[in-house]
Amino acid sequence: MTQYEIGTDTTLTSSQWVKAYIATLDHKGDIQHETYEFQRDNRYEDDGLDEELTIYKDLCQSLGIHF
């Protein structure tokens, strides 16, 4: 199991991950809060998301939003 600064390993296959990720995007295909939650909860080795998720977590905390 990989250790991440934030989040946990995914249990999804690549195909499942892509379908679930797309389902979190808004009607324009943009990332939203649910997308970041999905990424946090479905990490994979070498995804390079530690910094982005940490920045988003800090932003949410500063605004009083649970992440």
* DSSP of 1-67: ----SS--B--S-HHHHHHHHHHHS-TTS---HHHHHHHHHSB-TT---HHHHHHHHHHHHHHT---
Predicted pLDDT of residue 52: 96
- The domain limits of the chain are 14-63
Task: Give phi and psi for 9, each to the nearest 5.
Answer: -60, 145
Predicted pLDDT of residue 65: 98
**Intervals of the chain under pLDDT 70:** 1
CA distance 23 to 18: 9
Predicted pLDDT of residue 38: 98
Predicted pLDDT of residue 2: 74
